[in-house]
Amino acid sequence: MNLSALKELMLRKTEDESLKTLIKIVDDNLFLDYVVESLQKMAHSALKGANPNEAVRHFNENMNPDVHPAMIREALGHHASRYKAALAAGNEKLANEHAGRFFKILDFAHTAAPTSDGKLDVESTPLQPWEMTHKNIAETFAEKIARNPNYKADPVYLRANKSLEQRARDTKNTAYKPAKNDWSFLRNAPHVEYEKFHDEVANHGHTGAYPMEQVKINGLYIPIEDVENLYDGNKSHPFDHHPILDHYDDPRPSDKNINKHPLLQERTRQYIQEKHPSYDSSPHVDRFAESIAKLHESGALEGRGLEPGQPVHRSESQAIIDPERFASSKPTARRSKKTDLSSSDEDLSSISASQGVPQSAPAQPKTAPSESAKSLLPPHLHDLLKR
């Protein structure tokens, strides 16, 4: 199928006139970039969620909806609470350790949830806008040379001189593993350029440090608690020892070439036949049951998770990206989905209603097709439309 045929097919599939105009006049290279990006997202979703490996499928089939989601929620709360305490104590190493465990469990939950038949539901703020602020990602090659001329001698494949749009497309979300396990970028504000390519920052509204406290498992917020003794040796949670965490991101061999992956077959067999059953009868599960029983006896389970806990980060965030660097290309502010009427608007509405005056929307000026198409693109891409 050539490009013209693809565009014709998309024009037949959509009824939105603005989108039709956009398809007709958008630059061909930009059009292909967006198609490829959408296909990449579909492929990533298929590998991570819609088509998980056999270990995840086995976990989902045997998931106890009264136990496993609660274990995941408590484990995330455990690490978020200790991450917060470690930061307050100035212990960066311990904070990074808990952040790494937090996102590993969260990534597993996002991988398992789509095929869990509703037993596991996960809500979290996308990590990509913060991921892009990591110093290894955010700094361009030109900036590296300006800071250290020795970078010029690096081979091309090590320069990572990608455009910001490519970096936004390549972000890994909760599967991201930062170099040297350095999670300090979580305390940054989200990357000011990310909003150009995605609407996530505008949608969730978090403009400061990453909000761990907003994570929800099966409709309940993770418990963020004050840890009195940071050095009590209680670094891990019972769910940290679940063998699924070592297998959920194993590649899944296709049916056609499964015989070419004996190592993956053996790992899956060991998990299903040996590791998973041994965990279910392990002291880790007993320890979790004991902790839940104590919470129940103390009454702490009542109302637990109905409201988000205290933020794990300070209210102020230091972004390593200078906003002025992109001042000329910032996206326009988006209107909130919630309509907030002023008192004067309310007074006018009530007067009109009381006098029987019909309220009609003001006439909207006609919009040229090209302008209508522009509204579907971020401002910095308007110049790429065909004239």
The domain locations on the chain are 45-252+259-324
Question: Of 354 and 51, which is predicted with more confidence?
Answer: 51
Statement: residue 124 has pLDDT above 60: yes
Residue 76's pLDDT is what? Answer: 97
pLDDT confidence band for 219 (50 / 70 / 90): very high
Mean pLDDT for 302-327 is: 64
How many other C-beta atoms lie within 10 A of the C-beta of residue 159? 15
Residue 337 phi/psi, 5-degree rounding, is -70, -25
Statement: residue 209 has pLDDT above 80: yes
How many other C-beta atoms lie within 10 A of the C-beta of residue 366? 7
Question: Of 228 and 106, which is predicted with more confidence?
Answer: 106
Statement: residue 335 has pLDDT above 50: no
pLDDT confidence band for 194 (50 / 70 / 90): low
Interacting residues of 95 by C-beta distance below 8 A, sequence separation 6+ = 83, 86, 87, 183
Residue 11's pLDDT is what? Answer: 81
Interacting residues of 327 by C-beta distance below 8 A, sequence separation 6+ = none
Question: Of 295 and 335, which is predicted with more confidence?
Answer: 295
Residue 353's pLDDT is what? Answer: 35
Residue 147's pLDDT is what? Answer: 67
> Of 70-84, 289-303, 351-365, which range is least confident?
351-365
Q: CA 165, CA 193: separation in Å to the nearest integer?
A: 9
Degrees, nearest 5: CA angle 135-140-143: 95
What number of CA atoms fall less than 13 Å from residue 361's CA on the CB side?
3
How many other C-beta atoms lie within 10 A of the C-beta of residue 316? 9
Residue 109 phi/psi, 5-degree rounding, is -60, -40
Contact (Cβ atoms closer than 8 angstroms) between residue 387 and residue 25: no
Statement: residue 70 has pLDDT above 80: yes
Residue 207's pLDDT is what? Answer: 77
First to last CA, the chain: 26
Mean pLDDT comparison of 232-241, 290-299, 357-366, highest-scoring range: 290-299
Q: CA 363, CA 123: separation in Å to the nearest integer?
A: 40
Mean pLDDT of the chain: 74
Q: Tokens for 147, please give them.
A: 């800071």
Interacting residues of 85 by C-beta distance below 8 A, sequence separation 6+ = 226, 227, 230
Mean pLDDT comparison of 135-144, 287-296, 307-316, 362-371, highest-scoring range: 287-296
Mean pLDDT for 122-136 is: 84
Residue 171's pLDDT is what? Answer: 74
Statement: residue 368 has pLDDT above 80: no
Q: CA 81, CA 100: separation in Å to the nearest integer?
A: 13
pTM beyond cutoff 0.85: no
Q: CA 312, CA 89: separation in Å to the nearest integer?
A: 13
Segment (H or E) for 157 = helix 156-159
Contact (Cβ atoms closer than 8 angstroms) between residue 319 and residue 133: yes
Question: Of 350 and 84, which is predicted with more confidence?
Answer: 84
Please report where in the chains the tokens 């109302």 appear, as a residue: 303
Interacting residues of 192 by C-beta distance below 8 A, sequence separation 6+ = 319, 321, 323, 326, 330
pLDDT confidence band for 359 (50 / 70 / 90): very low
Percent of the chain topping pLDDT 90: 33
Mean pLDDT for 161-182 is: 76
Mean pLDDT comparison of 5-14, 162-171, 196-205, highest-scoring range: 5-14
Contact (Cβ atoms closer than 8 angstroms) between residue 305 and residue 220: yes
Backbone Cα Rg of the chain: 25
Residue 111's pLDDT is what? Answer: 95
| pLDDT tens, residue by residue, 8-67 | 888 877 777 777 787 887 777 777 777 776 665 554 444 445 578 999 999 999 999 999
Residue 2's pLDDT is what? Answer: 73
